[in-house]
Structure 1
Amino acid sequence: MFEQLTQLVQQFGQEAVVNNNAVPNEHNEAVLSEAGNSIFSSLQKMASEGGIEKLAGLLQGNNAQDPSNPTVQQITQQLTGSLGEKFGLNNSDAAGVAGSMIPQILGGLVKKANDPNDSFQITDLIGAISGDGTQTSGIMDTISKYGTQFGLDQNADGKLDMDDAIAVTKSSGGIGGFLGKLFGK
């Protein structure tokens, strides 16, 4: 996941960082690197602290591109503080850089993860964010809790279980298809 994140940071950081006079040129690469690290660590922290519902919400539709989304705001604020602290950017400039990059990068990451023609899949994103099996199971618990709202209850028994997963994966291409259906793929 980090490779895809780095590519998106480079892509969307051109205007926000490299072409921005508020960011000294000698800090361009470090600021871009900080943006990628900030996004990744924020998402991991959210998963480890039980913010699974926030992550699931972020991965649906266009939520990742919405600057008013609380998760996007949280990551933007973290990067804003970090840019001020580490690179001496004033709050307004740091907020401008973070505010223009974070929604675009997160939106691009979710778009790549939901693109069936891209080798990067939503399961890669969840695996990278969650790290170990306990957090992955927490994400799966959230999927079970909210999955019926997204049409994943294939046998209409009111719960998500292995029978539903098997039905969706047979028709939708494996666990990636199962998670993809949940996240709007």
Structure 2
Amino acid sequence: MFEQLTQLVQQFGQEAIVNNNAVPNEHNETVMKEAESTIFSSLQKMASEGGIEKLAGLLQGNNAQNPTNPAVQQITRQLTGSLGEKFGLNSSAAAGVSESLIPNILGGLVNKVNDPNDSFQITDLIGTISGGGAQTSGIMDAISKYGTQFGLDQNADGKLDMNDAIAVSKSSGGIGSLLGKLFGK
């Protein structure tokens, strides 16, 4: 996940940071590292503090790109504060950088998870954020819960699992269709 996150920060940081006169050039690289660190630590904190439903909700559809999503707002506020404190950016400049970066980067992560041509999977993302183990299972259970609410439970057993994937693969859309429905594609 770190590699994907770094790539997305570099991609979206070009406009929001490097081409931004409010960010002194000597801080460009460290501001990008701060954005990366803030996103990762915020997602970890959400997972460890029981924000599993918030995190699962973030990973569905276009929620990660929605600046009004509570998880996006939380991470944006954290980065804004950090940029002001560590780099002396005024609140307006710090908020501008954060509001430009966070939804784009989070949306990019979700898009990578949804891309069948990308080897990055949701379990990779969840496992990295949660540190693996029971926490990963809890987050995947929350995603399953949301998925059943959106009609993805193909065999009506109250959970999303491989049996649903098999049912979908026998239908017209295949497993990509099931995952696409889950993530709003």
Using the size of structure 2 for normalisation, the TM-score is: 0.88
The 2-side partners of 1:179 and 1:135 are apart by 21
Identical columns (%): 80
2:164 to 153, 164, 168: 168
The count of corresponding residues between Structure 1 and Structure 2 is 179
Contact kept in structure 2, 1:60 and 1:184, CA below 8 Å: yes
The 1-side partners of 2:79 and 2:16 are apart by 13
* Matched residue type, 2:21: N
Report whether the alignment pairs 1:12 with 2:30. no
The structure-2 alpha-carbon separation of the partners of 1:102 and 1:130, relative to structure 1 and needing over 3 Å to count, comes to same
Contact kept in structure 1, 2:155 and 2:164, CA below 8 Å: no
Q: Which residue pairs with 1:89 in the alignment?
A: 89
**Aligned ranges for residues 1-185 of structure 1 at < 5 Å?**
1-157=1-157, 159-160=158-159, 165-170=161-166, 171=169, 172=174, 182-184=182-184
Gapped runs of 5+ residues in structure 1? none
Tell me the CA shift for residue 153 of structure 1. Answer: 2.2
Q: Please provide the CA RMSD for this pair.
A: 1.9
Gapped runs of 5+ residues in structure 2? none
Bigger CA drift: 31-40 or 147-156? 147-156
Contact kept in structure 2, 1:123 and 1:179, CA below 8 Å: no
* Matched residue type, 1:92: S
Contact kept in structure 2, 1:113 and 1:120, CA below 8 Å: yes
Tell me the CA shift for residue 132 of structure 1. Answer: 2.5
Bigger CA drift: 111-120 or 145-154? 145-154
The 2-side partners of 1:40 and 1:123 are apart by 15
* Matched residue type, 2:164: V
Contact kept in structure 2, 1:168 and 1:177, CA below 8 Å: no
The structure-2 alpha-carbon separation of the partners of 1:85 and 1:96, relative to structure 1 and needing over 3 Å to count, comes to same
Using the size of structure 1 for normalisation, the TM-score is: 0.88
Contact kept in structure 2, 1:72 and 1:102, CA below 8 Å: yes
* Matched residue type, 2:36: G
